Amino acid sequence: MKKKTCPKSITENSKRLSCKRKRILPALVLLLLGISMASSGCAWRKEAAPITRSGFYFDTVIQITLYDSRQESLIDDCFAMAKEYEQLLSRTVPDSDISRINRSGGAPVTVSDDTIKVIEAGLAYCELSKGAFDITLGAVIDLWDVKNNPGVLPDRKELARALDTVGYEAVSIEGNEVTLTTPGAQIDLGAISKGWIADRMKEYLNSQGVTEGILNLGGNVLVLGPKSDGSAYTVGIQKPFAEDGSLLLSVDISDGTVVTSGIYQRYFELDGTIYHHIFDPDTGYPYQNGLLSVTILCPDSVDGDGLSTTCFALGLTEGLALIESLPDTEAVFITTDYEIVKSSGFPA
């Protein structure tokens, strides 16, 4: 892989890569199916099947698979973490830190250290993308309600009012206090929180001695590796909109994350146009930029999550240039013509 220089804002989170739902549910199931272990020569592994369980948190299917532990309680602990973070970070949980900030009317709100860290991670991508990624799109996201939308475009005046509340510069952090300086601004961390939580789960499992496994948080795949027998994890990248679950390609990684942002993950269709869930903060409409999906390979899932949405928002040319400027980070872009465009160091 060629040498690259990393912008300061995300350097901290980009350290090591050792190799590199008309609806959400079908897509998730397909992605889960797309993940498979590469064959292993380890005798123990042949005898002991991995333990795997699924749960549903923050509107997302989470699947946890452990290869070198038989302790189901560790998976319970990870699900408990998911619930805890949901209680802090979800906009739909009334007493979450984020809900309290969003209804504060501009008053400072004291929140947990974890919430501060996730907001700060989000803000780093707002800056890196010069606002194409924006964690204050909550009012616009609510108005579209893509998940439940039967095919109705939002009223233009209402959309204009919602857009007036968007702008990440309104988020001010002082210690553990968060203040939203624009009236009506609404924080939404949907583009970054799953990745951040996946990293926390990995840390926890590592601390418990687990070093081989796969975490899949709604398409944020994070592997615990490298495996002791040296073999890689094979992670499938779904063909957008494919109802039969077919994969467009797969990547072998021994450590790190594979995160996809795609319009097929959540959308509705009206008069031949797909209205999906990644919005342009300038227009309040979903980005229509010739892309179906972007998949990022990098060490940490918070960066994979931040970058996949950021690169989708930036589009192919700018997004690819950003990836080429980052160390230990690769990407594959899938265009509306199903052309596959890979960054220069993408694993063959």
Q: In this structure, what token pair is assigned to residue 60? A: 């997302």
For ligand AMP, which stretch binds (CB under 6 A), given 12-20, 22-30, 131-139, 229-237?
131-139
If the CB atoms of residues 212 and 303 are measured against Mg ion, the closer one turns out to be: 303
Among 57, 133, 144, 196, binds ligand AMP (CB under 6 A): 133
Distances (CA, A) of 313 to 31, 52, 290, 310, 333: 22, 34, 11, 5, 12
Tokens of 62: 């989470």
Query: Binding pattern to ligand AMP, positions 295-324, x when CB under 6 A?
Result: ----------x--xx---x-----------
Count of other CB atoms within 10 angstroms of residue 273: 13
**256 forms bridges with which residues in the sheet?**
223
Draw the binding track, 247-276, toward ligand AMP (x: CB under 6 A; -: no contact): --------------x---------------
Residues 157-216 close enough to bind Mg ion by CB under 5 A: 191
Instruction: Compute the distance between CA of residue 210 and CA of residue 66 in angstroms, rounded to an integer.
Output: 8
- Taking the C-alpha atoms of residue 53 and residue 45, their distance in angstroms, rounded to an integer, is 18
Whole-number minimum distance, CB 38 to ligand AMP, in Å? Answer: 27
| Partner from Mg ion, ligand AMP, none contacting 279, C-beta within 5 to 8 A by type | ligand AMP
Nearer to Mg ion, 190 or 226 (CB): 190
Which of Mg ion, ligand AMP, none has residue 165 at its interface (CB below 5 to 8 Å by kind)? none
Q: Which stretch binds Mg ion (CB under 5 A): 181-189, 288-296, 304-312, 339-347?
A: 304-312
CB of 112 vs ligand AMP, minimal distance in Å? 20
Question: Minimum distance from CB of 326 to ligand AMP (Å)?
Answer: 17
296 binding partner (options ligand AMP, Mg ion, none; Cβ < 5 to 8 Å by kind): none
Choosing from 115, 309, 329, 343, the residue that interacts with Mg ion (CB under 5 A) is 309
What are the backbone angles phi and psi of residue 310, rounded to the nearest 5°?
Answer: -60, -50
Specify the residue, 165 or 309, whose C-beta has the smaller distance to ligand AMP. 309
Question: Which one, 111 or 263, has the nearer CB to ligand AMP?
Answer: 263
Binding to ligand AMP (CB under 6 A) within 138-197 occurs at: 141, 188, 190-191
Please, which residue, 212 or 305, has the CB nearer to ligand AMP? 305
Number of residues that bind ligand AMP (CB under 6 A): 17
Q: How far is the CB of 306 from Mg ion (least distance, A)?
A: 6
Rounded-to-integer distance, Cα 128 and Cα 13, Å: 13
Pick 227 or 266: Cβ nearer ligand AMP: 266
Q: Which is nearer to ligand AMP, 97 or 188 (CB)?
A: 188
Q: What residue ranges bind ligand AMP (CB under 6 A)? A: 133-135, 137, 141, 188, 190-191, 261, 277-279, 281, 305, 308-309, 313
Q: What residue ranges bind Mg ion (CB under 5 A)? A: 191, 305, 308-309
